[in-house]
């Protein structure tokens, strides 16, 4: 029996597996495809967003700031390729500038440090990006934005988790999950096994896994 089984070996599932591999736990990372990072994780932009992108006062906003801050250390540990490029949000008219002011204020409220962000104009914009349109009249400049290779990042996380003892089960689509109160019995196209806990990190298939776990029925009961 596993202590934890994580369904989905994208960036989220692989990151969870790596973190849990630091502890004295038996962990399974289950993926229906033949490799990790073959779904949404492979296809995203690879932009490491600054904290300003999420609304202040939300969990997403809090985690976006924290997540951005760990990339440099993660890359030092796993060498997946990360570059802190900074990023610009451009304004082309007065209405756009008002939007930049809102973005700036939200960035401060969500926890972005003042020295990490600023509103810049004219030649300042050209110094950072010489090929930007001459029609750009202002820009919100966030110095903490970066870029990475999403599939290399995910692969590095998964490889490190496996090196630490996590069982990676590829080509193992989950077809059924039974809740036996004390444990879950997970059935894949290859095998059946037991797990004390299940983590649903199945990306665009998360709803299917949730249905197997009767999450929606449980929510109805809790809401009634």
| Domain ranges, residue 177 | 2-45+150-223
Question: How big is the chain, counted in residues?
Answer: 224
Residues 100 and 180 in one domain: no
Share of the chain above pLDDT 70, in %: 96
Per-residue pLDDT of the chain (224 residues; tens, 9 = 90+): 999 999 999 999 999 999 999 999 999 999 999 999 999 998 889 999 987 888 899 999 989 999 999 999 999 999 999 999 999 999 999 999 999 999 999 999 999 999 999 999 999 999 999 999 999 999 999 999 999 999 999 999 999 999 999 999 999 999 999 999 899 999 999 999 999 999 999 999 999 999 998 876 666 655 66
Positions marked catalytic: 49
- Cα–Cα dist 99/131, whole Å: 23
Same domain, 82 and 127: yes
Closest Cα to residue 4, out of 130, 161, 124?
161
* Rounded-to-5 percentages of helix, strand, coil across the chain: 45, 25, 35
Q: Are 166 and 179 in contact (CB under 8 A)?
A: no
Rounded-to-integer distance, Cα 123 and Cα 152, Å = 36
Do 54 and 34 fall within a single domain? no
> How many domains does the chain contain in total?
2
Q: Are residues 28 and 60 in the same domain?
A: no
Please identify, among 126, 148, 170, the residue that sits at the C-terminal boundary of a domain.
148
Burial class (CB within 10 angstroms; exposed 0-12, middle 13-18, buried 19+) of 161: buried
Same domain, 78 and 22: no
- The Cα 126–Cα 49 span in angstroms is 22
Indicate which CATH number applies to the domain containing 190. Answer: 3.50.50.60
80, 137: one domain = yes
Cβ contact 25:164 at 8 Å: no
């Amino acid at each position: 029996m596993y202590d934890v089984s994580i369904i989905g070996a994208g960036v989220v599932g692989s990151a969870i597996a790596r973190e849990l591999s630091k502890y004295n736990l038996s962990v399974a990372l289950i993926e229906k495809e033949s490799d990790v990072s073959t779904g949404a994780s492979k296809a995203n932009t690879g932009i490491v967003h600054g904290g300003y992108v999420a609304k202040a006062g939300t969990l997403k906003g809090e985690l976006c700031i924290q997540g951005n801050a760990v990339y440099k250390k993660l890359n030092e540990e796993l060498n997946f390729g990360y570059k802190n490029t900074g990023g610009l949000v451009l304004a082309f008219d007065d209405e756009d500038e008002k939007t930049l002011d809102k973005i700036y204020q939200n960035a401060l409220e969500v926890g972005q440090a003042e020295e990490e962000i600023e509103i810049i104009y004219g030649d300042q914009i050209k110094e950072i990006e010489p090929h930007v349109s001459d029609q750009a009249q202002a820009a919100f400049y966030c110095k903490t934005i970066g870029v990475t290779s999403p599939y290399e990042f995910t692969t590095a996380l998964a490889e490190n988790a496996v090196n630490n003892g996590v069982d990676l089960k590829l080509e193992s689509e989950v077809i059924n999950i039974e809740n036996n109160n004390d444990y879950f019995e997970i059935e894949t196209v290859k095998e059946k096994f037991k797990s004390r806990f299940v983590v649903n990190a199945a990306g665009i298939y998360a709803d299917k896994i949730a249905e197997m776990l009767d999450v929606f029925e449980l929510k109805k009961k809790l809401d009634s």
